Structure 1
């Protein structure tokens, strides 16, 4: 290690010492005042994560900071052999303690002393001056850094684009609040051109091509139109959130009032002069992902499914920043709504073939790039906005290969072409991705009382040539499902209405490929199985505020009883357990019940324990999830999980994203506002397991799990103290998929007294593979299966009816490819009935 300071720090004050009695080398060099870390090195790598590269809202040696609710890594750019990156605060247009970081090929990291912080995520390479522009910084080929004073150009800079009239000397800077600046890349002189020229809010993307500056806002927050440079009329209304707009140097034009993020071309951050290549931008609405392409000044739109719903809220806070970028070897990748897609650099209206799903993910990824033969993912890992279980925000990088993604989440997605939309005869929809998914199912609903007809058309080669595939004719208010045969090929499908009406065409795309838990069993060696008679090292975990360590309230468990207790800090620099906890807020981790505020909470606060409650319980039928909108039901795992009520059930593990670990299955829980109850109805299962996982936490870019066998061997993932009274397992967040595909059993009824015509509690169906339903009743009765097929449709559709004979069991195996979000059941007579789903 270069320039490593031999030293230690005391637990009481964590003051850096010049000399100490120990021989442990601390892998960082402080600044001249021995207050801030100036450089840091390390070699430890766990599941693609180097813990020493963790970024915080500060760089102080003692870890304590004054303010900063978030710490995402907003932009990463390879430049002259090094990797430059900036992290960002939640809302600091006038600067903050966040930093500019420089990482060399040996993963040594320097922290730029002149960092101004703020909320930056913008990056561009300026061709004429040969400079990297990242945030407020301009970096030449020798690594010299100049900074536009943030007081001179205040703003949460999110995009940098080539100038329309003086591209040799100037660039545009676009900010989240909508401010548009121009700046001279030589003199650093800046000028604000517009304060807030466009509808929408939360500026995200900006790029210059085909003689236009294209700007994107991804949210809506009741903006004041007084500064708009477009007509106010027609800009308000249902679904009018965010904006995609053009600027020709004189006039702004709204292209579409939807939420959009990245704007780019095949040249990406290497913005070239006189760019004429197709320009792409990604956005979404309640139906689907929206991918738009501009060619010769004209726009075309394509739709894709969503793997997850974390990005959906209209405020746009939870989409920082989905990108389309090159990942090496002339390959490009698109990341949107929790899914990686292969993205062809040739994508255009007449050559649209080649978009393919790769895998879904849990990681919150503001940027990614290719560097030194690896893909590098930036992350927004842990915030303290509404999150009382973390003391300070922190984020890190992930290094790996594209093939690694194949062992992450399944290529499964959901969306709609029409969603209770009014259509007229001969209306043609926008194209929706058809290729790349193993199983494709459509849910079709005629919301009109009159008959409805439309034809499905296929673009087989992605050359914008369409052929009719199948005509659907539905009676008034009829529902129908349709599973596309595997042998039906094509790049895109679209719908052409043959009659007027109101219709939904909802698509569920699922996969045959789930990660094998058996394949990766060795990765989780050391974790204790639920129900074991062996001793287990459990712990409640808290990422400290006063230092970089993690507090661990440890217990040794045997047969469900605590036989020993201890308090430790797991140390950042030495990766070992030190006795004692110094973090005043760490005891928050001891409470495992949940409480949600009615209003968004941006500052983490201690809640009244009297208001906290158990999130789930179990009856004979299934797991019951208790939400403010009523009970939901989830599958059961091993019966031994019934008694694990003191284990952590919900925790934020990525910024503004929560995970639940309930009865042997991890679930992703999208949020609508930080601090408020998650959108439980939009949850998706991640993986199922048979481990005694007492707590889980994101720390130093790693996923920490407690619940280690006391007799486990230490390894690169398992760390146990000498006394074997404290232990933890470490990996990365997307290692959770490797536990194995979601499975389970249960249902809404188990010998339950059922009232005629009353719907059961909803039972989760999203994300499960092989599905079987078993029904039984004490009298002859007709049971109806109702489905929720879209999170944005309140109506449940009537799927199937089952005529049961008294006392006789009926089994129904769902067809391969059948998918819905939630299932409910009803009976046409009062009865005592059982309805159980088996997910294999």
Structure 2
């Protein structure tokens, strides 16, 4: 925070004057805890500020004397304190978890311990007298158009970000009234209820009046004018792999902080690894494609004629709405648009969903509107979920930076950051250490025993005639496309899974990189890029993405080798991986597989791929009906379509442009040997 009256920068417990003098609060005896927010004072802003601690305490500090007074030990429920900000006569604080850091019973002044399965985290406000819960959900940043300077006046709006099982939540406080908006998630890796895996989504000005919002794996242009009657301008820029705890402008650069490899339950790293990335604002569009998913309702009971929260529509040319309900009769949903972000809603169309049915609606790419909302014509238990995407802004020849990575010819290599800042490399029988100057030094293999024997996280993988098969800890099977190269069938020849960004995994499965939650909840994975290269290991080290395998000097500017030329590695940034090529592949749940009537296939991944089709056939002597079902929100299956296939016939079905779901599966209505192969181009 910049305290404008005293002209001091406050960062952590430190107060820094304009002349460079640094003073610190007494953190051993008075300002105790892990401070996560500093906010302007409600009644004496010229002389005092509030501090908010990750464990929940609220302090008051005199900016001149640094005297500290604890106002509240823990006033509200929830854990893992995050943002705090003062606006419109109230202090607003957020936390994003439900896993207690301290085993103690507290007498909360607002909220209570979780009673509902969805209770996690909190957004709460204090007017100087009374604490009040705004929402019992997981929230992170709280800020406003004054940014780190605090609210410019008492009328300035306040923004807060959070999430629930449906989507990202964007809260607006304006004119003393709270409003809720919903935005797609770009990743499921941030979702756990303990809140530890969100360090630290923010809304922040970066340069020249331009603001960014970073949340759940997506970056957005955020309009600093966001207020009641003026909510236009929020636009997705990209998805990203980098775990970004903070960001700012520095000169003409955008600086991205990071939480790369950690040592938490990770023997593949001798010490934690992170660094700053200096890039350009315009370079963000070359990160991952702006894709995401989220909903306004997820098996929720909704009253007739009650409008949903607004959901972001602008900025995504490919948009599909999935609607499903449990009522015994049909339900009509009115789709309404806020075309200008001025709060004026107009009807776009009505969609009738049959009894206990499912329908999807693809929005035309040329339909212009900021927000969309839905309204049912009767009481209903309903899910309304969107999948949104925009093509990545690829550059011609961008994969030339990977020219040194061969597409065939395995070379056994293992890499591991050690506990002294070096990178350990085992290349067959030879061993090397790489220092901060990217100089390779031969060493004795025995010294690198930890690199060879460190236990890595594992997921059981196998390849059959149809696809790649993953089996999770509960014995559930999940299928992924093959990349088209048989060299990847034997997954023992290369590293398939490790942490490269803190608290989530990167997987290298059959020539495609995937993002995988730390929980190894395989239903939540998404593809990153299909590379089809002989990559035997990978890691992050000193802020760099490192790829090992069949690497040879090829003038791509990213290959560095030992003096004898016998060992080489590729170095770059983690979000360079998107440049390897969009996810593609072929496979499915069945390839001449003996199937039983009415028994669904294994789930097969659909999200993150475009230009999708499926070929269906069987060996029966009678027509077989293949029912295709989709899981769009990881909470159940919906019937997409039933396709009749005659004996000896192969039926090709192409999914509509813009259609997407997370998983797909197939069921046949007769015993037969069936084939269902999906092509993702």
Q: Normalization by structure 2: what TM-score?
A: 0.96
Residues 432-451 of structure 1: pairs in structure 2 closer than 5 A: 432-451=311-330
Q: C-alpha distance in 2, partners of 1:735/1:493?
A: 33
Q: Paired residue for 1:515? A: 394
What is the number of residues matched between the two proteins? Answer: 674
Q: C-alpha distance in 2, partners of 1:812/1:142?
A: 70
Q: Paired residue for 1:22? A: none
Q: Paired residue for 1:487? A: 366
Contact 2:401 2:557 in 1 (8 A): no
Where 1:269 maps in the other structure, the secondary structure is: helix
Deviation at 1:453, TM superposition (A): 2.1
**Among 628, 634, 651, the residue aligned to 2:498:** 651
Q: Paired residue for 1:544? A: 418
**Among 223, 227, 234, the residue aligned to 1:348:** 227
Deviation at 1:497, TM superposition (A): 2.0
Q: Paired residue for 2:63? A: 185
Q: C-alpha distance in 2, partners of 1:255/1:581?
A: 60
Q: Paired residue for 2:477? A: 631
Deviation at 1:298, TM superposition (A): 1.0
Q: C-alpha distance in 2, partners of 1:824/1:448?
A: 24
Change (3 A) 1:181 1:550: same
Deviation at 1:586, TM superposition (A): 5.2
Task: Say whether residues 1:571 and 2:413 are aligned partners.
Answer: no
Contact 1:311 1:319 in 2 (8 A): yes
Where 1:395 maps in the other structure, the secondary structure is: coil
Deviation at 1:644, TM superposition (A): 4.5
Task: Say whether residues 1:241 and 2:120 are aligned partners.
Answer: yes
Where 1:227 maps in the other structure, the secondary structure is: coil
Task: Say whether residues 1:719 and 2:593 are aligned partners.
Answer: no
Q: C-alpha distance in 2, partners of 1:272/1:483?
A: 41
**Among 646, 653, 666, the residue aligned to 1:825:** 666
Q: Paired residue for 2:406? A: 528
Change (3 A) 1:504 1:377: same
Q: C-alpha distance in 2, partners of 1:727/1:644?
A: 22
Residues 754-833 of structure 1: pairs in structure 2 closer than 5 A: 754-779=595-620, 780-791=623-634, 793=635, 795-833=636-674
Contact 2:146 2:152 in 1 (8 A): no
Contact 2:327 2:381 in 1 (8 A): yes
Deviation at 1:212, TM superposition (A): 1.0
Q: C-alpha distance in 2, partners of 1:753/1:314?
A: 41
Deviation at 1:720, TM superposition (A): 0.6
Deviation at 1:344, TM superposition (A): 0.5
Change (3 A) 1:591 1:646: farther
Deviation at 1:593, TM superposition (A): 6.3
Change (3 A) 1:448 1:588: farther
Change (3 A) 1:521 1:473: closer
Deviation track 1:523-548 (CA, whole Å, cap 9, x = no partner) reads: 11211112x4xxx6652111111x11
Deviation at 1:230, TM superposition (A): 2.2
Deviation track 1:157-189 (CA, whole Å, cap 9, x = no partner) reads: 111111112212211110111011111222222
Contact 1:396 1:701 in 2 (8 A): yes
Q: Normalization by structure 1: what TM-score?
A: 0.78
Contact 1:195 1:227 in 2 (8 A): no
Contact 1:544 1:583 in 2 (8 A): no
Contact 1:415 1:507 in 2 (8 A): yes
Change (3 A) 1:524 1:800: same
Deviation at 1:277, TM superposition (A): 1.1
Contact 1:211 1:274 in 2 (8 A): no
- Higher mean displacement: 627-636 or 270-279: 270-279
Q: C-alpha distance in 1, partners of 2:391/2:570?
A: 30
Deviation track 1:324-358 (CA, whole Å, cap 9, x = no partner) reads: 01121211110001000111110012000110100
Deviation at 1:715, TM superposition (A): 6.1
Q: C-alpha distance in 2, partners of 1:742/1:491?
A: 29
Q: Paired residue for 2:106? A: 226
What runs of 5+ residues in structure 1 fail to find an aligned partner?
Answer: 1-123, 556-564, 596-613, 673-677
What runs of 5+ residues in structure 2 fail to find an aligned partner?
Answer: none
Q: Paired residue for 2:544? A: 702
Deviation track 1:92-132 (CA, whole Å, cap 9, x = no partner) reads: xxxxxxxxxxxxxxxxxxxxxxxxxxxxxxxx111111111
Deviation at 1:513, TM superposition (A): 3.4
Q: Paired residue for 1:114? A: none
Contact 2:304 2:376 in 1 (8 A): yes
Question: CA RMSD of the aligned region, Å?
Answer: 1.8
Contact 2:114 2:120 in 1 (8 A): no
Contact 2:170 2:182 in 1 (8 A): yes
**Among 553, 575, 585, the residue aligned to 2:426:** 553
Task: Say whether residues 1:690 and 2:532 are aligned partners.
Answer: yes
